[in-house]
Amino acid sequence: MKSIQVHLGPRSYAIHVESGLIKKIPHILSENNHGQKWLIVSQHRLMEMFGFKLINLLKENNYNTDYITLPTGEAAKSLNEFSRLISQMVEMKCDRSTTVLALGGGVVGDVAGFAAASFMRGIDYYQIPTTLLAMVDSSIGGKTGINIAEGKNLVGAIHQPNGVLIDTDHLTSLPKEELVAGLGEVIKYGAIYDREFLLKISGWLDNLNTFPFEEAVARSCAIKADVVSEDERERGLRRILNFGHTVGHALEAHFGYGKMRHGEAVAYGMLSAGYISKKLGSLTSSETDLLFETIQKLPLPEIGQQNSNHLMEYIRTDKKNEKGVLNFVILDGLGSAITSTAVNEDLIKESLKVLS
């Protein structure tokens, strides 16, 4: 089992990565089982695939376990569903000792994590991600939240999990499109932090059937752990994790949450940000070509030409805007990223032409 530490003083925790890890969860959590309620928050389909097996394993090891399901898709990340989840927790007599297990993809992790952050002013929770995207991104770092009509994740909190438990066997249940979406984030880690890792990814993408997912997940998690350990609250280094996200979030909002997968949108956003990096002179032509060639190995959905004015409306409400200035992440060479305030609207609009 690969264990990676997120170093945050008294709130430090481990990320465990292993094939078949779900069988070890009762043992891993045993020191924290004090007779409290363990509440699995998931989705019905995932409960049938993994959740009921996990409940049985926990009950066999004397865990007091129950579960609540959320609807599928981004619809779960609404104020109404969040309110319903909290109400059910009250009905189940959850209290300050209750521990939440977020079993699912990024949507489940975001909503369950926000519920854990909010319920009785904060209770313990663990992330058990079941998608590639959640394994390498949203399950790590404590970002939780829900969507409102004006934008994605505009309501939320940073509430670190007590641990992240990654069973890479869950990836075998995913459709190809979900794996591709997750690979968009995997590419991001190489682009912003580890050039050699990016080169490996580029080669691995030549044959998805032999892609070493466990190795890629472990390295991606290690990179995010390093970044979060240094900058938990996104005041400096952690901002580089938003590479590709400014345009990516705008595309998600434009098409409608759930209609374009987050990782697919980020992949397109990285094309835009790569173009801008080159225009600003921080990325060479050969580096830009390598980045583009790697991203374009992903079978992304065609999006056609976009209405740049419409996309800019979403970008202006992006969380990375501060006092009217957009903090835009660009590459300062492959494997290195910086935040720039020199990216204006005209340059962003120009970059959108590379997406179609």
Which residues are registered as beta bridge partners of 127? 102, 164
Question: 304: pLDDT confidence band, cut at 50, 70 and 90?
Answer: confident
Break the chain into its structural domains and give their ranges. 2-171, 175-355
User: Tell me, what's the pLDDT at 190?
Assistant: 98
Closest CA to 270 of 175, 146, 183, 151: 183
309 is catalytic: no
Distance between CA 130 and CA 104 in Å, rounded? 5
121 is catalytic: yes
User: Tell me, what's the pLDDT at 156?
Assistant: 95
Residue of 18, 74, 77, 143 with catalytic role: 143
Percent of the chain with pLDDT over 90: 84
Residue of 16, 262, 278, 297 with catalytic role: 262
Residue 292 has pLDDT above 70, yes or no: yes
pTM of this structure: 0.93
193: Cα separation from own chain's centroid: 17
195 is catalytic: no
Residue of 245, 261, 278, 297 with catalytic role: 245
Distance between CA 6 and CA 86 in Å, rounded? 28
State the average pLDDT for the chain: 94
Q: Where are the alpha helices (DSSP H) in 38-175?
A: 44-46, 52-60, 79-91, 106-118, 132-133
User: Tell me, what's the pLDDT at 323?
Assistant: 58
Cβ–Cβ under 8 Å, residues 15 and 136:
no
Name which of 145-154, 193-202, 217-226, 321-330 the model is least confident about. 321-330
User: Tell me, what's the pLDDT at 151?
Assistant: 73
Residue of 34, 93, 121, 323 with catalytic role: 121
44 is catalytic: no
Q: How far is CA 173 from CA 129, 170, 179, 261, in A?
A: 13, 6, 10, 17
**CATH code for residues 2-171:** 3.40.50.1970
Residue of 170, 219, 249, 297 with catalytic role: 249
User: Tell me, what's the pLDDT at 320?
Assistant: 61
Distance between CA 66 and CA 94 in Å, rounded? 10
pLDDT in tens, 114-138: 999 999 999 999 999 999 999 999 9
234 is catalytic: yes
Sign of CA dihedral 325, 276, 305, 303: negative
Residue 258 has pLDDT above 80, yes or no: no
User: Tell me, what's the pLDDT at 16?
Assistant: 98
Q: Out of 3.40.980.20, 1.10.1060.10, 3.40.50.1100, 1.20.1090.10, which CATH number does the structure's domain 175-355 have?
A: 1.20.1090.10
Residue of 219, 242, 261, 264 with catalytic role: 242
User: What does the CA dihedral 299, 300, 302, 304 come to, rounded to 10 degrees?
Assistant: -130
Question: What are the backbone dihedrals phi and psi of residue 106, each rounded to the nearest 5 degrees, phi first?
Answer: -60, -35
Residue of 77, 159, 224, 278 with catalytic role: 224
Distance between CA 23 and CA 47 in Å, rounded? 15
Question: 153: pLDDT confidence band, cut at 50, 70 and 90?
Answer: confident
Residue of 18, 74, 232, 234 with catalytic role: 234
| Mean pLDDT (whole number) for 28-57 | 97
| Mean pLDDT (whole number) for 242-267 | 88
Question: 259: pLDDT confidence band, cut at 50, 70 and 90?
Answer: confident
| Mean pLDDT (whole number) for 327-332 | 96
143 is catalytic: yes
User: Tell me, what's the pLDDT at 246?
Assistant: 94
Distance between CA 307 and CA 91 in Å, rounded? 47
3-state secondary structure of 104: strand
262 is catalytic: yes
| Mean pLDDT (whole number) for 51-75 | 96
User: Tell me, what's the pLDDT at 319?
Assistant: 58
Which residues are registered as beta bridge partners of 64? 37
Name which of 5-9, 229-233, 259-263, 278-282 the model is least confident about. 259-263
Residue of 238, 261, 278, 297 with catalytic role: 238
User: Tell me, what's the pLDDT at 321?
Assistant: 61
151: left (phi over 0), alpha (psi -120 to 50) or beta: left
3-state secondary structure of 32: helix
Helix (H) or strand (E) holding 25: helix 25-29
238 is catalytic: yes
